[in-house]
Amino acid sequence: MSQELCEMSLRQTQELLRLTDEALQDICCKRFTGEELSVKALQMVLKGKGRRGPACIYVAFNGKDKGLLCGRVYSLRDGEVVERSGEITIDTLADYARILVQAETRADVVISNKTVEMDQEFFPPAVKECVGDEISNFVTYRISGETTGAIIAFNYPGRATDYDADVLRGLAVVISSVFTISDQMRETEKAFIYTIESLARACEAAEEDTGRHIVRVNRYAGALAANFGLSADYVDVISYSAQMHDVGKIKVPASILLKDGPLNERELAVIRMHPAYGEQILGDSPRLQIAREIAISHHENWDGSGYPRGLRGDEIPLSGRIVKLADVYDALRSKRSYKSPLTHAEAVGIFRDGDHRIDPRNHFDPNLLAIFFRLEHMFESIYDSLTGEDL
Ligand SMILES: [Fe+2]
Ligand SMILES: [Fe+2]
């Protein structure tokens, strides 16, 4: 029997290991969903190879306040993991938490098959309530290190054993590393977005537009991409990459950028360098690939009459075609030294009939132009809701 249990726990631990290994590979190639991995791991342990799973498991981690653990009770329903409770917060200094922090034993694992009242008193009332049945046995595992927390599995069939504790330890390792990784990834992602926003803002500061041009361009570009049937991931990426379309302008002297009056040939040539400067500044980071594409191609025209490369049609990256349209709409609506702002209706009129600078049918991707006419009211509300300096 014990040989059999040992082999079973070994197989369960190997499965957890395989799951973690797959997740590590996923981290490299797609968006990491820590939640999905945690649920799969919980499911494996609760199923317990069909006959060795606990009735339910409480999983808790430290919240913002180090003295508190926040978690939920999970169990299986029709083979799927379900939350059996809302969030249950535990004060680690409370009497009932002694079993969780193991102040007395200092062991990571406690296995108990006692049903005496005393043990049951150690559980938070809310957790006990969720377990429902009498607690006949339990195994707790304390998570320490970078992430702290506790995992308690209740009511194994028969007795809780060392083998069950081994499996639970495996589960704790998987869940706590997922928690740490996704936490750090979130932080890294936030830092990344913050950095690119600062870069985009620094470049915008050199221009006369003190409004929220770049924020609005992000939004229009996201709306166009979503309505073009592009994936949620792409919509996400273009919604933060669009703001960097003019980063190259940081290398254009303010005397030219802010010049009051028409630019001469030489000055125009300098301004027209900004797509190439932008491409250079954004470098070769894979995370900035779309931003780089946009920077270099947002002044290309559908008919090949744009700059800097004179690309035409599908040769122009889709991201560049999207941001071009968004950028032109916003430029029309905004005040510039050489022009006053247009109303939404006037801007839409130019998208329909053109003017001395814009030839919509030859400059824009016709499919995107059609989407613009469908979405024009959304453009108007984005502009109206993101205007002014105090945003
Ligand atoms: Fe530009
Ligand atoms: Fe712009």
User: Residue 213 and residue 332: Cα distance in Å, rounded?
Assistant: 11
The number of beta carbons lying within 10 Å of the beta carbon of residue 212 is 22
Six-digit token pair at 89? Answer: 């917060």
User: Residue 139 and residue 360: Cα distance in Å, rounded?
Assistant: 69
Residue 213 contacts residue 204 (beta carbons within 8 Å): yes
| Same domain for 342 and 240 | yes
171-185, 274-288, 337-351: least confident range: 171-185
Six-digit token pair at 138? Answer: 């339990």
| Same domain for 330 and 218 | yes
Task: Confirm whether 100 is domain-assigned.
Answer: yes
| Same domain for 299 and 200 | yes
Task: Confirm whether 390 is domain-assigned.
Answer: no
Quick: pLDDT tens for 41-63.
999 999 987 778 999 999 988 87
Q: What is the pTM of this model?
A: 0.69
| Same domain for 129 and 104 | yes
Please report where in the chains the tokens 């098959």 appear, as a residue. Answer: 113
Q: Which of 128, 249, 335, 339 is catalytic?
A: 249
Ligand nearest, relative to CA of residue 218: 2
User: Residue 208 and residue 335: Cα distance in Å, rounded?
Assistant: 9
Which domain CATH number covers 40? Answer: 3.30.450.40
Give one word for 336, left, alpha or beta, with left for phi > 0 and alpha for psi -120 to 50: beta
How does residue 134 score in pLDDT terms, banded at 50, 70 and 90?
Answer: confident
Burial of 276 (0-12, 13-18, 19+ CB in 10 A): middle
Going from the Cα of 327 to the center of ligand 2, the distance in angstroms, rounded, reads 5
Going from the Cα of 200 to the center of ligand 1, the distance in angstroms, rounded, reads 12
Q: Residue 185: its pLDDT value, please? A: 79
How does residue 391 score in pLDDT terms, banded at 50, 70 and 90?
Answer: very low
| Same domain for 205 and 150 | no
Quick: pLDDT tens for 81-125.
999 888 888 887 777 676 665 545 556 888 888 765 555 566 777
Section 260-282 average pLDDT = 93
The full length of the chain comes to 391
Handedness of CA 167, 173, 175, 178 (dihedral sign): negative
Residue 318 has pLDDT above 90, yes or no: yes
Question: What's the DSSP call for residue 211?
Answer: S
| Same domain for 270 and 202 | yes
Going from the Cα of 40 to the center of ligand 2, the distance in angstroms, rounded, reads 45
How does residue 378 score in pLDDT terms, banded at 50, 70 and 90?
Answer: very high
Residue 317 has pLDDT above 90, yes or no: yes
**Residue 327 corresponds to which amino acid?**
D
Neighbours of ion ligand 2 (CB under 5 A): 246, 327
Bridge partners of residue 141, in order along the sequence: 109, 151
Total structural domains in the chain? Answer: 2
Residue 157 contacts residue 5 (beta carbons within 8 Å): no
Closest CA to 290 of 250, 251, 315, 323: 323
Ligand nearest, relative to CA of residue 300: 1
Going from the Cα of 277 to the center of ligand 2, the distance in angstroms, rounded, reads 15
Of the three residues 184, 203, 223, the one that is the final residue of a domain is 184
| Same domain for 180 and 202 | no
How does 343-363 read in b/e, with b if 16+ C-beta sit within 10 Å?
ebeebbebbeeeeeebebeeb
Residue 184 has pLDDT above 70, yes or no: yes
Structural domain of 355: 191-385
Task: Confirm whether 391 is domain-assigned.
Answer: no
Is 249 catalytic? The answer is yes
Six-digit token pair at 51? Answer: 């006959």
User: Residue 343 and residue 273: Cα distance in Å, rounded?
Assistant: 30
Sequence-distant (≥ 6) Cβ neighbours of residue 33 within 8 angstroms: none
Of the three residues 184, 219, 238, the one that is the final residue of a domain is 184
Going from the Cα of 381 to the center of ligand 2, the distance in angstroms, rounded, reads 18
Distance between terminal CA atoms of the chain?
68
Residue 131 contacts residue 154 (beta carbons within 8 Å): yes
User: Residue 269 and residue 272: Cα distance in Å, rounded?
Assistant: 5
Give one word for 78, left, alpha or beta, with left for phi > 0 and alpha for psi -120 to 50: left
Handedness of CA 59, 62, 64, 66 (dihedral sign): positive
